Amino acid sequence: MDQTRPRPYRTAVCISGQCRNLQFTYRNIRAYLLQSLSAYDLFMYVPEDGYAHLAELLRPTRLSRVPDRPLDAGLLRNGVTCRLKTGVQAYLQQLHALQRVNRMRLDFQAETGVRYDWVIRCRPDLLFLNPVRGIEAANPQYIYLPDFHRFDGENDRFAFGNPFHMDIYFNKYNCLQDSVRDTLKHENAKPLSAEMFTRQHLQRNGVPIRRIPVRFNRVRPYGVIDDTVPADPEGWD
């Protein structure tokens, strides 16, 4: 056996959120994201509801199904201190689920001793338009985010990076109130959006960002939300 042969890249894929439309996206996620990886473990943290059983379609390595519980809104007042398209509670649940799915990944590492080169954040409602290639050849000094729908910050629907940087990304829940408080200190400050918060959080923690031309839509009960943008820039910035 060749002891000098490098081990294959190993990736942790973390998916969190309601699985309401996963029956329409799971084949796409498998074909356009998971199959591009040399080796991966899939962690899913989903609310215990009438759709939670759909998570099994992706054959996760670890699956946690937990009922949503009300979370303390603190300083968040939609339209006043924040502007969240999904509403305050839905956004808090999203951030809490991100933290919990990452905890699943860390616990699995501690139990098994597995080491990950990359960690991916994905939502169950994403419908990729093209295969997500180049992850394993990326520069691990950066975190990679979509280059579209950044609005006044950064797109928060998909991300990947090394485990250290992704630990910071997944820990947004614990830092939200501080970001709201700091934003309100500035005169004529805009209420904090999800995109603004994502950028602030990464910059505050010194995480360097690169943006990639990954393209995806979102699936809703009433159909597909067309998230595509007119320009499709070549390469990564």
Model confidence at 229: pLDDT above 70: no
pLDDT tens across 178-208, in order? 999 999 888 788 899 999 999 999 999 999 9
Predicted confidence band of residue 3 (pLDDT cuts 50, 70, 90) = low
3-state secondary structure of 140: coil
Strand partners of residue 78: 82
- Structural domains of the chain ordered from first start: 11-72+86-171+194-225 (3.90.550)
Structural contact between residues 98 and 173, judged by C-beta atoms closer than 8 angstroms: yes
Task: Report d(CA 159, CA 194) in Å as an integer.
Answer: 14
- Rounded to two decimals, the pTM is 0.93
Predicted confidence band of residue 4 (pLDDT cuts 50, 70, 90) = low
Proportion of the chain above pLDDT 70, given as a percent: 94
Q: What is the mean pLDDT of residues 135-148?
A: 96
Per-residue pLDDT at 233 = 42
Model confidence at 176: pLDDT above 80: yes
Strand partners of residue 156: none
Task: Report d(CA 169, CA 99) in Å as an integer.
Answer: 9
Average pLDDT, the chain: 93
Q: Please report, for residues 11, 68, 164, 182, the alpha-carbon distance to residue 143 in angstroms, rounded to integers and kept in the order given.
A: 14, 29, 10, 24
Query: Which position has the higher pLDDT, 212 or 225?
Result: 212
Model confidence at 63: pLDDT above 90: yes
Q: Please report, for residues 9, 39, 187, 218, 235, the alpha-carbon distance to residue 168 in angstroms, rounded to integers and kept in the order given.
A: 21, 23, 28, 25, 26
